[in-house]
Amino acid sequence: MSAPVATCCAVVALVGAPNAGKSTLLNRAVGTKVSIVTHKVQTTRTRVRGIALRDGTQLIFMDTPGIFAPKDRLQRAMVAAAWAGVQDADLVVYLFDAQRRHPDEAAEAIVKGLTEKARRRVLVLNKIDAVPREQLLGLAEEMNRLGGFERTFMISALGGDGVEDLLDYLSEQAPEGPWLFPEDQVSDLPMRLLAAEVTREKLFLNLHQELPYSLTVETEAWEEFKDGSVKIDQTVYLQREAQKRIAIGAGGRTIRKVREQAQAELQALFGRPVHLYLFVKVRERWIDDPARYREWGLDWQA
């Protein structure tokens, strides 16, 4: 009888400033969309796990909200969730947007925190597709001077350049241990939450200025039918009547577009017909309401 082949497993946290490309990298590593992505900062609000298998190794990636100086309760909860992710991880991947050219004060603060809290740190310069190559070495040196990283990788999470090397390294580093998720699972996000996130992404893309930050989306009902289709009811909470009017748009045009885009994407994601219904409500102080945080696993009192 041959000895059983050992499995390996590592929890890898993806951290960095808002917009660095953490969620884009997570989706690429997993091979499907599990975390929403927009061109706007502060898209991700909580920890989202995505699972990748490479040979005998399970890599559990933890996408986190961007780390920045928080100004309100939601932002505090988001940043606290990101730091909690650092502490839970075997390896921390710190993503830095290489378009920034030099480390700024925010980067210094993050690296300082990582030096204290992270067991192992890897630096990843992202968005190299948008940066002249000759800038990268200098940037890597400056970043490494801020704090010790065991490795530096240069990647394009969007285009894929360098990502395989990074994933190879991470799986080589994974300690021996049992897989924490079943082989076919790609995310720990319940479908109701994923569905709410997809709608929030479309709202982020179709609304501007402060509006995306004034809203939250919840899946209220999920009904499956014999023909395989699913009916999903969601509520979009905003803080003021004026915001509600903008979100709905003239003649309902804006919310209709959001609904169509979200429904199409959910249909593709779930591989079944989806009937999505959106209700827009004003809830002035949702940002201070513990119930709005619980489902997301965010700490209201962070």
Strand ranges of the sheet holding 91-97, from the earlier edge strand across to the other edge: 48-54, 57-63, 8-16, 91-97, 121-126, 151-154
The label of the residue with tokens 């990582």 reads: 114
Among 29, 37, 52, 140, binds ligand GTP (CB under 6 A): 37
129 binds, among Mg ion, ligand GTP, none (CB under 5 to 8 A by kind): ligand GTP
Q: Does 23 bind Mg ion (CB under 5 A)?
A: yes
Which partner, Mg ion, ligand GTP, none, binds residue 75 by CB below 5 to 8 Å per kind? none
Tell me the β-bridge partners of 96.
125
CA atoms of 246 and 27, how far apart (whole Å): 31
What's the closest the beta carbon of residue 81 comes to Mg ion, in angstroms? 12
Q: Which of 8, 13, 15, 42 binds ligand GTP (CB under 6 A)?
A: 42
Q: Based on the shown chain and the rule CB under 5 A, indicate whether residue 156 belongs to the binding site for Mg ion.
A: no
Q: Is 47 exposed, middle or buried (0-12, 13-18, 19+ CB in 10 A)?
A: buried
Among 88, 101, 115, 130, binds ligand GTP (CB under 6 A): 130
Cβ of residue 241: shortest distance to ligand GTP, in angstroms?
28
Stretch that binds ligand GTP, among 12-20, 109-117, 218-226, 287-295 (CB under 6 A): 12-20
Q: Show contacts with ligand GTP in window 172-201 (CB under 6 A).
A: none
User: Least distance to Mg ion from the beta carbon of 113, Å?
Assistant: 18
43 vs 173 by CB, closer to Mg ion: 43
Going across the sheet that includes 230-238, the strands are: 216-224, 230-238, 274-282
Assess 65 for contact with ligand GTP (CB under 6 A): yes
Of the pair 208, 256, the CB lying nearest ligand GTP is at 208
Binding partner of 42, given ligand GTP, Mg ion, none, CB within 5-8 angstroms per partner class: ligand GTP
> How many CB atoms neighbour CB 242 within 10 A?
11
Residue 226 near which of Mg ion, ligand GTP, none (CB within 5-8 Å, type-dependent)? none
Q: Which does 127 bind (CB under 5 to 8 A by kind): Mg ion, ligand GTP, none?
A: ligand GTP
Q: How many residues sit in the footprint of ligand GTP (CB under 6 A)?
A: 24
Residues 38-67, interacting with Mg ion (CB under 5 A):
43-44
Residues in contact with ligand GTP by the rule CB under 6 A: 16, 18-24, 37-39, 41-44, 65-66, 126-127, 129-130, 156-158
Residues in contact with Mg ion by the rule CB under 5 A: 22-23, 43-44
